Amino acid sequence: MVEQTLVFVKPDGVERGLVGEIFARFEKVGLKIVGMKMMHADKAHVQKHYAAHLEKDFYPPVENFITSGPVVAAVLEGVGAVSLVRKIVGGTEPHSAAPGTIRGDYAHMNYAYADGPAKAKGLRNVIHASGNEEEAKAEIELWFSKDELFDYKLLHEKHTRG
C-alpha cells in the first residue's frame, strides 16, 4: 500500500549539516518528498508531537533538545513508507542502532549517558520518524497543512509502482 509518513531532522542533525545526506538516502530508495519545511518547534508543538511520552522521565530533556534549534520536517510517500523509513532510520538508541541506518551511522549516544551525564540535553538521535500508520496520520496533520503537501509524479514511479 502507498503510505505517507512524517520525518524531521532534529536540531543535532541540522546543526551538523546532515540534512542533505539524510534526505539523499530517502530519495535513493525512491521515496517521494511530498512536503518539506524548516521550522523552530515551540514547547506546545513538541508536547503535542510527543503526547504519548509527556509523563515519562526522559520527556523534559527531549523537549529541551527538540526546541533548542530549527528542525527540517518532511512528509515522505511510498509503498510501505512507514516501516521502510523506520528501517532506514534505525533503532531509537544510536549505540545499538544497526550500522547502515541513519542513527547507526551518524550518532553514537547510549541511554546510560543520555539519562546520566547528559541528562539535561536529551538523547541526540538525529531524526524522528513516525512509528506506525496511525502515528503517521496524526503527525502529518500536526506538522503540515493541506496546502503544504504536493501531488506530483516522480519519473521512477513508473518503475517502482506497478
Active site residue 45: no
Q: Which residues pair with 77 in a beta bridge?
A: 4, 32
Interface segment toward ligand ATP; rule CB under 6 A; list 19-27, 33-41, 110-118, 143-151? 110-118
Residue 28: is it exposed, middle or buried by C-beta count within 10 angstroms (0-12/13-18/19+)?
Answer: exposed
**What distance in Å separates the CA atoms of residue 155 and residue 143, rounded to the nearest whole number?**
27
Residue 95-134 contact track with Mg ion, rule CB under 5 A, x = bound: ------------------------------------x---
62 binds ligand ATP (CB under 6 A): yes
Question: Of Mg ion, ligand ATP, none, which one sits near residue 101, judging by CB under 5 to 8 A according to partner kind?
Answer: none
111 phi and psi angles, rounded to 5 deg: -60, -40
Interface segment toward ligand ATP; rule CB under 6 A; list 31-39, 71-79, 120-128, 153-161? 120-128
Question: Of ligand ATP, Mg ion, none, which one sits near residue 123, judging by CB under 5 to 8 A according to partner kind?
Answer: ligand ATP
131 binds ligand ATP (CB under 6 A): yes
Contact (CB, 8 A) for 89 and 127:
yes
Task: Report the sign of the C-alpha dihedral through residues 67, 39, 24, 14, in that order.
Answer: negative
Catalytic residues, by residue number, are 128
